[in-house]
Amino acid sequence: MEEWVHRDETVRAGTLLISGNALLRDGLARMIESADYAFVAATVDDGHILPALGEGIANVQVTIVDASGPFETDVTRVDQAIAAYPHSRVLVLGRDSNMSTAQAFLRRGASAYLPIATRRDHLLATVWLLLNDQDSKVVILPRDDEGEALPGVREVLSKREMEVIEIVAEAATNMQIARRLGITEDTVKRHVSNILMKLGAVSRLDAVKKAGIPLGITSSAVSSPRRPGAAHPNNDSRPA
């Protein structure tokens, strides 16, 4: 086991990395340490030693678990991480690109599921979201070759987020969405950011496509009349 303790750990959130792959641990550590809001508290190669670490690692707010092995082994590793650090958000890096596997880990208490070969910006943005929104659940999966939404992707979004993305499909601005739903523009921005993260989208249009919503179709889930508006080119995929 190797351990890093950052000099500014009172400001930055501690991250625990669990993986039997030394190269993966080192790569993840470099990614995390490049962020100004997180540091690597420790890395371990075996979930069995987590209880022994216990309170020896302070300020662990996000635990990243390598789940690229046999499913039962990965489930055990995730369970051990949750048991050892029940107040930490668990981010699973898996080898499967299907929603059923992602949801299996979420049901066991994980907060996020990303592909093992995830992009650096997706990983860091997910860590940021887990630190700043305690209710967030993030699943990032690749699209199929036709660009269609993956099965079950809509289940990842909350009812309110589905309402927001359906109005986004009508090319509505944040102000128009806020008026339609009776919420503030800041709340709309937060919902849009969460939607982008959960669907692994790089823009509003990309999120609409991944959610499988036809463009320009008025949502049946929102009873108020459609308010016409120009397209809003918001391509910012980072949390607002």
Is residue 150 a part of any domain in this protein? Answer: no
How many residues are given for the chain?
240
Backbone angles phi, psi at 55, to 5 degrees: -80, 5
CA distance 58 to 128: 19
17, 134: one domain: yes
Residue 206 domain flag: yes
Can you read off the two tokens belonging to residue 190? Answer: 């937060």
Model pLDDT, residue 51: 56
Q: What is the pLDDT of residue 53?
A: 58
Number of separate domains in the chain = 2
CATH code at position 131: 3.40.50.2300
Q: How much is the pLDDT for 122? A: 82
Evaluate whether 186 touches 138 at the Cβ level (below 8 Å): no
**Residue found by looking up tokens 């397209």 in the block:** 231
d(CA 162, CA 174): 15
Q: In which domain, by residue range, is 95 found?
A: 2-139
Domain end point (choices 113, 139, 165) = 139
CB 204 within 8 A of CB 215: no
Same domain, yes or no: 40 and 81: yes
Residue 113 lies in a domain: yes
Q: Which residues of the chain are under the pLDDT cut of 70?
A: 1-11, 46-58, 142-156, 214-240
User: The tokens 């036809």 sit on which residue?
Assistant: 214
Decide: pTM greater than 0.75.
no
